[in-house]
Amino acid sequence: MLYLAVYSLGLALPFLGTALFIEHFRKRVRGFSRWSRPLRALAGLVLIIMGIMVLTGQMTWFATWMLSTFPVLGRLG
């Protein structure tokens, strides 16, 4: 019973925190709304480029380049 209570509390805390701070978050994010459309376009372009890289096999080359350029990325996961 105790494990179930702790599990339920751990599951509920992020939702309660979101409910408490959502209005504050919305006020802060409202200033970024003018960048919304260009950022979505950029994200879409990045997804298209990455999809093409996966299809052509260039994603492996890119991953190797990233690891050689930024070795700290190899320790992240």
Residue 41: both structure tokens together = 């376009």
Same domain, 44 and 20: no
DSSP H or E segment with residue 57? none
Same domain, 25 and 4: yes
Q: What's the CA gap between 60 and 18, in Å, rounded?
A: 38
| Alpha-helical segments (H) within the chain | 2-29, 36-56, 58-69
Is residue 76 a part of any domain in this protein? no
pLDDT tens readout for residues 9-62: 999 999 999 999 998 888 888 878 888 899 999 999 999 999 999 999 999 999
Is residue 46 a part of any domain in this protein? yes
Same domain, 25 and 43: no
For the chain, the domain total comes to 2
Is residue 77 a part of any domain in this protein? no
Predicted TM-score of the model (pTM): 0.55
Full domain range(s) for residue 2: 1-30
